[in-house]
Amino acid sequence: MDADVFVAWFEEAARLVHQDRDRLTRLDAEIGDADHGTNLDRGLTEVCKALTGAPPASPAQVLSTAGTTLIRKVGGASGPLYGSVFRQMGKQMSKAAETQGTQGTQEARVPVTLAAFAAAFEEGVVAVERLGKAALGDKTMVDALAPASRALALAVRDGVDVSEALGQAARAAAEGAKATIPMQARKGRASYLGERSVGHEDPGAASAALIMAALATVAG
């Protein structure tokens, strides 16, 4: 998975989120403040602009640029939360490149292995859990991201190929998003609704599923 694949990931994610913007906003209207679709659509459009303006040379830099842009450009809670996932992934990947001695100059084009990606993704999920103080079952994006991360880790352990592994991660995220429907929200705006948050899919979990589907499409 090279820098171009990661740029393509954000382009495809931007496309899918744009396409589903109204659905995401409708989900947020049910248990939040009806801005998740517009927030993320705007944020990912800005990410694509930043990536095409000055294409980063390494996967780590693509992720850092994307994360920083989301933190800067998205007003809602989801901007800093997604931003921290990608920034942490970028940090983790550049650390890994450093240990391998592949950091800097053209070597930065060295692709990231599935195992390194899975490890970085795991760190990204830990970062969002820490920032949002959210755990599995709280009805947030974590309920889609954490199962995707777990699926990736298992795929790496079992020696599954990249395409199959990313497909499994995308399916785990989609199932995780659907599994938020019967949950009662314990974090974010939806938690203000208490029991009335039950029966609705969490918008952030729904967008996380789209983002994982985008990766399976471009790198699968």
Would you tell me which residues interact with ligand ADP (CB under 6 A)?
A: 28, 32-33, 35-36, 39, 76-78, 81, 132-134, 140-142, 187-189, 202-205
- In the complex with ligand ADP, which residue's Cβ is closer, 119 or 205? 205
* Spatial CB neighbours of 175, under 8 Å, sequence gap ≥ 6: 147
- In the complex with ligand ADP, which residue's Cβ is closer, 48 or 127? 127
Are the beta carbons of 182 and 199 closer than 8 angstroms?
yes
**Shortest Cβ 34–ligand ADP spacing (Å):** 8
In whole angstroms, give the CA distance from residue 117 to residue 120.
5
Handedness of CA 124, 128, 133, 134 (dihedral sign): negative
Angle (CA) 201-119-137 rounded to 5° is 25
- In the complex with ligand ADP, which residue's Cβ is closer, 124 or 132? 132
Q: Which of 133, 127, 55, 57 is nearest to 91 (CA)?
A: 127
Q: Which does 132 bind (CB under 5 to 8 A by kind): Mg ion, ligand ADP, none?
A: ligand ADP
**Shortest Cβ 76–Mg ion spacing (Å):** 5
- In the complex with ligand ADP, which residue's Cβ is closer, 20 or 35? 35
Q: Which does 81 bind (CB under 5 to 8 A by kind): Mg ion, ligand ADP, none?
A: ligand ADP
